[in-house]
Amino acid sequence: MRNLKQKAGKRILNKQLRHFKRIRETHNFETAKTAGILFTPTDQASFEQIKLFLSYLGKYKIQIYVLGYIDAKIVPESFLFWKGINLFSRKELSWSRIPKSPVVNDFIDKPFDVLLDLSLTDFFPIEYISRLSKSKFKVGRLTNNHNSYDLMFDIKNEKKLETYLEHIKNYVNLINKVKSA
């Protein structure tokens, strides 16, 4: 049943992507003024890693918007106390697994300088958001499902959030701001 729902969602997404346009610009952490962060916390430790990464981005004076997807019916109470982090759960998905939260729609519509997808696992709601995001420069991990990112990291051999975040810190900062079409 979940596969059927996801296939319906992908069909809807592909239909929306036919008319999708965004402005592309390459940014590093020094040139970016805004960043959208997508993530899927699995436990308290991953949540702490994300918080440390947000502190790192704060050094660059980047205005940060954070959105997390919890693959459960409700968001655990321990995740609700983090200021400035918006979370949504399965409860806020349509039948076809498309997010139906106003917070998600606002996130998709913001033209962030950089979108960082920090999720280590494939979740259709995250794919939906990242592919429809109007962000100028999208960063994420290499997946078999889609390649909607401008910069991708292959983390198949080591799926540790800490390592992935280090790659992002190192390589995004190497990029010079170059306008692309």
Residue 138: CATH number of its domain:
3.90.1640
Count the Cβ atoms, other than its own, within 10 Å of residue 119: 23
Q: What is the pLDDT of residues 1-48, one digit of tens each?
A: 667 887 888 888 888 888 888 999 999 999 999 999 999 987 778 888
Q: Print the domain residue range for 14.
A: 2-172
Name residues whose C-beta falls within 8 Å of residue 8's C-beta, 6 or more positions apart in sequence. 95, 96, 97
Q: pTM of the entire structure?
A: 0.89
In total, how many domains does the chain have? Answer: 1
Of 25, 62, 56, 51, which Cα lies nearest the Cα of 139? 25
Q: According to the model, what pLDDT value does residue 181 have?
A: 44
Instruction: Answer whether residue 16 is part of any domain.
Output: yes
Angle between helices 102-109 and 124-132 (to 10 degrees): 40
